[in-house]
Structure 1
Amino acid sequence: MPTESSYPRLDIPNIDLWTFLFEREEKKREFPEDKVIYKDPDTNRHYTYAQVRSTALEFGKGLKSVWEWKKGDVLLLYTPNCIDTPAITWGTLWAGGILSPANPGYTVDELAFQLKDSGAKALVTQKAFLSTALEAAKKVGIAEDRIILMGDERDETRQFKHFSAIRNLAGTSRYRKAKIDSKKDLAFLVYSSGTTGHPKGVMLSHSNILSSVTMGNVSEGGNLSWKGQKDNKGDQILAFLPFFHIYGLTCLVHQALFSGWTLVVMPKFDLERFCMHVEKLNITFAYVVPPVVLLLGKSPVVSKYNLSSIRMMNSGAAPLTRDIVDAVWNRLKIPVKQGYGLSETSPTTHTQRWEDWKDSIGSVGRLLPNQTCKYMDAEGKEVPVGQTGELWIKGPNVFQGYLNNPQGTANALTDDGYFKTGDVGHQDEKENFYITDRVKELIKYKGFQVPPAELEGLLLSHPDIDDVAVIGVYYADQATEVPRAFVVPRKGVEAGDSKGQEIVGWLGKKVASHKKLRGGVVFVDEVPKSASGKILRRLLKDRVKEEEKKGQKAKL
Structure 2
Amino acid sequence: MSFRSPYPDVDIPEQSLYDYLFGGIAEADLGRTALIDGPTGAETSYGELIEQIDAVAGALAARGLAVGDVVGLLSPNSPAFAAVFHGILRAGGTATTINALYTGPEIAKQLADADARFLITVSPLLDHAKEAAAQAGLDDEHLIVLDGPGRAAGGHPSLADLLTQHAPAPEVSFDAATHLAALPYSSGTTGRAKGVMLTHRNLVANVAQTAELTNTTRDDTVLAVLPFFHIYGMTVLLNSALRSRAKLVTMPRFDLVQFLTLIQQHRCTFVYIAPPVAVALAKHPIVDQYDLSSVHTILSGAAPLDEQLGKAVAARIGCKVRQGYGMSEMSPVSHVIPHDGDAMALDSVGVTVPNMECKLVDPDTGDEVAVPAAGVSEPGELWCKGPNVMVGYLNNAEATEATLDADGFLHTGDIATVSADGVVTIVDRLKELIKYKGYQVPPAELEAVLLTHPQIADAAVIGVIDPAAGEEVPKAYVVRQPQSALTEQDVIDFVAAKVAPHKKVRQVAFIEAIPKSSAGKILRKDLRAAN
**TM-score interval (norm. to shorter):** 0.7 to 0.9
Give 2:341's aligned residue: 356
Q: Does 1:34 align with 2:31?
A: yes
3-state SS in 1 of match to 2:412: strand
Q: Tell me the distance in 2 between the aligned counterparts of 1:484 and 1:244.
A: 26
Contact 2:143 2:156 in 1 (8 A): yes
Contact 2:344 2:350 in 1 (8 A): no
Give 1:134's aligned residue: 130
Q: Tell me the distance in 2 between the aligned counterparts of 1:392 and 1:359.
A: 21
RMSD of equivalent CA atoms: 3.1
Q: Does 1:93 align with 2:89?
A: yes
Q: Does 1:18 align with 2:3?
A: no
Q: Does 1:190 align with 2:206?
A: no
201-210 or 288-297: bigger deviation? 288-297
Contact 2:226 2:233 in 1 (8 A): yes
Q: Tell me the distance in 1 between the aligned counterparts of 2:465 and 2:300.
A: 23
Relative contact order, CA 8 A, sep 6+: which one is greater? 2
Q: Tell me the distance in 2 between the aligned counterparts of 1:409 and 1:318.
A: 23
3-state SS in 1 of match to 2:185: strand
Contact 1:5 1:371 in 2 (8 A): yes
Identity %: 35
Within 5 A, what are the aligned runs for 1:409-488?
409-441=400-432, 485-488=465-468
3-state SS in 1 of match to 2:205: helix
How far 1:549 moved relative to its partner? Answer: 7.3
Structure 2 residue corresponding to 1:162, chosen from 158, 161, 166 = 158
Change (3 A) 1:413 1:43: same
Q: Does 1:2 align with 2:29?
A: no
Q: Does 1:53 align with 2:50?
A: yes
Q: Runs in 1 of length 4+ with deviation above 3 angstroms?
A: 151-157, 193-198, 481-485, 538-541, 546-550, 553-556
3-state SS in 1 of match to 2:29: coil
Give 1:180's aligned residue: 174
Contact 1:21 1:257 in 2 (8 A): yes
Change (3 A) 1:198 1:137: farther
Within 5 A, what are the aligned runs for 1:221-300?
221=215, 224-226=216-218, 234-300=219-285
3-state SS in 2 of match to 1:396: coil
Contact 1:96 1:177 in 2 (8 A): no
Change (3 A) 1:101 1:287: same
Give 1:43's aligned residue: 40
Q: Deviation string for 1:314-351 (max 9, x for gaps)?
A: 11111112111122133332321111111000011111
Q: Tell me the distance in 2 between the aligned counterparts of 1:46 and 1:328.
A: 30
3-state SS in 1 of match to 2:467: strand
Q: Would you say how many aligned residue pairs link Structure 1 and Structure 2?
A: 464
Give 1:118's aligned residue: 114
Q: Deviation string for 1:453-492 (max 9, x for gaps)?
A: 9xx9xxxxxxxxxxxx9x9xxxxxxxxx9996422279xx
Q: Tell me the distance in 2 between the aligned counterparts of 1:285 and 1:332.
A: 12
Q: Tell me the distance in 2 between the aligned counterparts of 1:312 and 1:440.
A: 31
Q: Tell me the distance in 1 between the aligned counterparts of 2:344 and 2:529.
A: 40
Q: Tell me the distance in 1 between the aligned counterparts of 2:505 and 2:190.
A: 10
Structure 1 gaps of 5+ residues are 227-233, 443-451, 457-468, 472-480, 491-524
Q: Tell me the distance in 2 between the aligned counterparts of 1:427 and 1:324.
A: 22
Q: Tell me the distance in 1 between the aligned counterparts of 2:48 and 2:425.
A: 41
Q: Tell me the distance in 2 between the aligned counterparts of 1:213 and 1:134.
A: 34
How far 1:202 moved relative to its partner? Answer: 0.3
Contact 2:59 2:166 in 1 (8 A): yes
Contact 1:319 1:437 in 2 (8 A): no
Q: Tell me the distance in 1 between the aligned counterparts of 2:98 and 2:295.
A: 30
Contact 1:126 1:153 in 2 (8 A): no
Change (3 A) 1:299 1:169: same
Q: Deviation string for 1:507-536 (max 9, x for gaps)?
A: xxxxxxxxxxxxxxxxxx9xx99xxxx996
Q: Deviation string for 1:421-478 (max 9, x for gaps)?
A: 1111110112111012321349xxxxxxxxx99xx9xxxxxxxxxxxx9x9xxxxxxx
Structure 2 residue corresponding to 1:408, chosen from 392, 399, 416 = 399
Structure 2 gaps of 5+ residues are 372-376, 444-460, 471-491, 515-527
Give 2:309's aligned residue: 324
Q: Tell me the distance in 2 between the aligned counterparts of 1:441 and 1:191.
A: 17
Give 1:68's aligned residue: 64
Contact 2:323 2:350 in 1 (8 A): yes
Scaled by the length of structure 1, the TM-score of the pair is 0.78
Output the amino acid matched with 1:60.
A
3-state SS in 2 of match to 1:392: strand
Within 5 A, what are the aligned runs for 1:387-406?
387-406=378-397
Scaled by the length of structure 2, the TM-score of the pair is 0.81
Q: Tell me the distance in 2 between the aligned counterparts of 1:377 and 1:292.
A: 34
Give 1:477's aligned residue: none
Change (3 A) 1:484 1:188: closer
How far 1:310 moved relative to its partner? Answer: 0.7
Change (3 A) 1:301 1:419: same
3-state SS in 2 of match to 1:375: strand
Contact 2:148 2:157 in 1 (8 A): no
Contact 2:190 2:432 in 1 (8 A): no
Output the amino acid matched with 1:237.
V
Contact 2:222 2:271 in 1 (8 A): yes
Contact 1:5 1:367 in 2 (8 A): yes
3-state SS in 2 of match to 1:440: coil
Output the amino acid matched with 1:440.
K
How far 1:381 moved relative to its partner? Answer: 1.4
Change (3 A) 1:280 1:96: same
Q: Does 1:83 align with 2:79?
A: yes
3-state SS in 2 of match to 1:211: helix
Q: Deviation string for 1:117-161 (max 9, x for gaps)?
A: 000000100011111111111112111111111147768953212
Contact 2:151 2:161 in 1 (8 A): no
How far 1:189 moved relative to its partner? Answer: 0.2
Change (3 A) 1:313 1:14: same
264-273 or 293-302: bigger deviation? 293-302
Q: Tell me the distance in 2 between the aligned counterparts of 1:246 and 1:414.
A: 23
Change (3 A) 1:316 1:322: same
3-state SS in 2 of match to 1:359: coil
Contact 1:80 1:267 in 2 (8 A): yes
